[in-house]
Amino acid sequence: MANRIDLAEVSVCLEDDGDGLPLLLLHGFPATRRLWSAVAPHLLEAGFRVIVPDLVGYGDSAAPEGVRLDMASQAGWMLDLLERLNVTRPVLIAHDVGSAAAQLMVVHAPERIRGLAVLDGVYGTEWAMDAVARIQTWDPAEAHRLFPLLARRIGKTAALRDLLAAYEGDQGGLRLIRASRDLDPTQTANIGERLRASGVPAIVLWGDRDAFLSIDHVGQPLARLLDASLIKLPGGHFTPLDCPDEVAVALRGFLARC
C-alpha cells in the first residue's frame, strides 16, 4: 500500500513495510519505485523495514513547476523523508543516478547512514548522460511519443515496461523530459575524498552485461573509492529486475555485516 508524505513544497509517494533495520531503496532514471518490486519481498521476508519511494518528480511523487529535480535536491528530500518517518541510520540501497543522491546523503550526513549499497550506479561525472541526451532535447510538443520509444529501446520485458508505465502519454512524457534536464553530473564530480573519509560501509553490485555504465570504467573505480567489494551479477543495467534473487542474496550478505 502506497503512502504520500508532504515535504514542504513537494510530495513523496512511497511504500513502507516491515520492521527491523530500515532500508531506503532508491531508483534511478528513467525508473520508479517499481524497480524494486521483485527485490523488496526478499528483504521483507528477511526481517527488514523496507522503504521504497518514488524520487520527487518521478512516478507518483510530485513537485511544482520551477522546482529542480536534481540529485542534490533529491538527497535533501530523502534525508527529510527519513526524519519524518523517524528513521535513524538506515542502509541506503541505490541504483543508477539514484546512487548519486545516496552518495550525496552519505557525504552530507555520514553519521545518519549505516551502510551504502550501489547497484549499477554512478562514479564522479560518469552518469551515462549520452543515453539521456535524446530525452533532454525532446520536443515537449511530442512528449506522448517518448514512452513508445523507451518501450522499444529498453522495455524488453514485461517488468521493464511496467517500470516505464508512469511515463505514458503527454503528461508522463513531459515529466520525464523535465527530470532528464535536471540531471547534473557535476554534483558528484568532487565528492570522492569525502565519500572515502565517511567511513560508511559499502558494497557495489553490477550487471555483467550493463550496456550503459561499464563495470570496468565505473563499477571498479567506484568500488575502489568506497573500499567495497564488487560483485558481478548475471544481468544488464536493471539488475533489480534482471536478477532479483541474486541481488537479494548479495544484499542480505552485506546487511548481515552492517
- Note the pLDDT tens digit of each residue in 51-104: 999 999 999 999 999 999 999 999 999 999 999 999 999 999 999 999 999 999
Range of the domain at 30: 2-127+184-255
Average pLDDT, the chain: 96
Phi, psi for residue 26 in degrees, rounded to 5: -115, 130
What is the b/e burial string over 64-80, where b = at least 16 CB atoms within 10 angstroms of the residue's CB?
A: eeebebbbbbbbbbbbe
CATH number at residue 83: 3.40.50.1820
Cell numbers at 61, concatenated: 511523487
Determine the average pLDDT of the residues in 40-54. Answer: 98
Domain presence at residue 13? yes
Confidence category of residue 29, pLDDT binned at 50, 70, 90 = very high
Cα–Cα distances in Å, from 41 out to 7, 16, 48, 89?
A: 27, 12, 10, 21
Query: Hey, how many other C-beta atoms are within 10 angstroms of the C-beta on 4?
Result: 12
Domain presence at residue 212? yes
Cα–Cα distances in Å, from 148 out to 142, 173, 174, 206, 242?
A: 11, 10, 14, 27, 21
**What total number of domains does the chain contain?**
1
- Using a cut of 0.85, tell me whether the model's pTM lies above it: yes
Please report which helix (H) or strand (E) contains residue 7, including its range.
Answer: strand 2-7
Predicted local distance difference test score (pLDDT) of residue 90: 98
Cell numbers at 231, concatenated: 560483485
Residue 157 has pLDDT above 90, yes or no: no
Cell numbers at 230, concatenated: 564488487
Domain presence at residue 165? no
Residue 1 has pLDDT above 90, yes or no: no
Domain presence at residue 144? no
Residue 151 has pLDDT above 90, yes or no: no
Residue 155 has pLDDT above 80, yes or no: no
Domain presence at residue 175? no
Q: Are strands 10-17 and 49-53 parallel, antiparallel or unpaired?
A: antiparallel
Domain presence at residue 178? no
Determine the average pLDDT of the residues in 191-212. Answer: 97
Q: What is the pLDDT of residues 166-178, one digit of tens each?
A: 999 999 999 999 9
